[in-house]
């Protein structure tokens, strides 16, 4: 599974040309990555394809965001995003062990 996270201080932001792809609630919820809407946005195929197409080595710089596509194993049983001043870390669980990126 691929998940989008922000890897710079400042916060997660969606490029404006993709705003039409999401409704208002989802755009609000991207700041809360562990809600249902936030999770759906961060695994959205259009967003991932955009970053992989226009980014550099899986990253796309947009305003105050540096969005990265991180691939976690399909057998991950759960995942969560933690934030420090906008810089995000992805944590996931496989076979009872916690991994981070």
State mean pLDDT over 59-77: 90
Place of tokens 């809407």: 37
Q: Give exposure, 8-28, as e/b (b: 16+ Cβ within 10 Å).
A: beebbbbbeebeeebeeebbe
In the predicted model, what is the mean pLDDT of the chain? 87
* Half-sphere exposure (Cβ direction) of 7: Cα atoms closer than 13 Å: 14
Confidence of residue 28 (pLDDT cuts 50, 70, 90): low
With vertex at residue 2, the alpha carbon angle to CA 15 and CA 19, rounded to the nearest 5 degrees, is 20
Is the per-residue pLDDT at 72 higher than 90? yes
State mean pLDDT over 53-74: 87
pTM of the model: 0.87
């Amino acid at each position: 599974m691929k998940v989008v996270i922000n890897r710079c201080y400042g916060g997660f932001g969606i490029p404006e040309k993709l705003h039409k792809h999401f409704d208002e609630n989802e755009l609000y919820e991207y700041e809360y990555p562990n809600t249902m809407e936030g999770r759906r946005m961060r695994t959205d195929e259009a967003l991932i394809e955009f970053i992989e197409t226009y980014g550099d080595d899986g990253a796309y710089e947009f305003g105050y965001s540096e969005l990265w596509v991180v691939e976690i194993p399909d057998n991950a049983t759960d995942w969560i995003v933690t934030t420090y001043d906008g810089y995000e870390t992805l944590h996931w669980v496989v076979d009872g062990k916690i991994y981070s990126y």
